[in-house]
Structure 1
């Protein structure tokens, strides 16, 4: 029985290997046909005009024509009702440098700002139960925005608060 199995396996293998023809010649014929078509079309393609890139010259304006735009109207301001816990009182616009749910964390930042010479304050937002650490407070939005930009060097998440009481 083993002899027949080995004989059948050998016969199957020989049929399988001899039945496969090399298809290399078919690929070679297809390549030569494509190459012939490409060379036949090449003179037609050369008669088409080439694309030309047109570059517009740069016109420079003198520095006297440059306008400086005051973008304080585009500064994002949050409006919240807050009550002062520590500090002298809030004006219309304030620069918030920290926001904490635990008052001990707010007091730590408050003390660091006080030690650095700022008129820092802590205000509580009762709706969200958050303590806001305020570094400076102003009457005008433009002054508050300028101050916020300065504070962002040390406190990148500083934002403006409008006291809506």
Structure 2
């Protein structure tokens, strides 16, 4: 019985000491990984000679709705850029405050048909001006998918 216990202890000690990783093995693996790592390539930006293409204003769809201003200091003009639509006024007001902080004269309007609150970030007298500003607005927020779906509202 004692002999079995001694053999068991000796086997355990040998097996545990054999599993120990050496620092040299880690160092070799690290050096190999660093050597295989590609060098950083610095690319110089290429100047684009193409002028930005102007959007064809006749193909831009415009939604026509009867709306009234509920938040904001100003009335909206005939064509507005809608960047958000909400069923809760609090959500629309939060987006309006964000846009005001970014320098826009945003207002919240309510759609009288469906009681939907819409955030208008800018408004203009002509469709051409509104389309041009919508393009600039989308370019300012390229990572915001909600703003990429901004549309033009024609106020009845």
Asked if TM exceeds 0.5, the reply is yes
1:129 to partner: Cα distance: 1.1
Q: Are positions 1:95 and 2:87 aligned together?
A: no
| Residues 81-101 of structure 1, C-alpha deviations (whole Å, 9 max, x = no match) | 000011200101000000000
- With normalisation by structure 2, the TM-score equals 0.59
2:60 aligned residue: 75
Q: Distance in 2 between matches of 1:134 and 1:69?
A: 23
Structure 1 segment 1-165 matched on structure 2, within 5 A = 71-87=56-72, 88-153=74-139, 154=141, 155-164=147-156
1:71 to partner: Cα distance: 1.2
Aligned length: 97
SS in 1 for 2:148: coil
- Look at both structures and tell me which one has the larger radius of gyration over its CA atoms: 1
1:70 to partner: Cα distance: 6.1
Q: Distance in 1 between matches of 2:137 and 2:54?
A: 21
1:152 to partner: Cα distance: 2.0
Deviating above 4 A after TM superposition, structure 1's stretches of 4 or more consecutive aligned residues are none
1:157 to partner: Cα distance: 1.0
List gaps (5 residues or longer) in structure 2: 1-52, 142-146
C-alpha RMSD of matched pairs (Å): 1.4
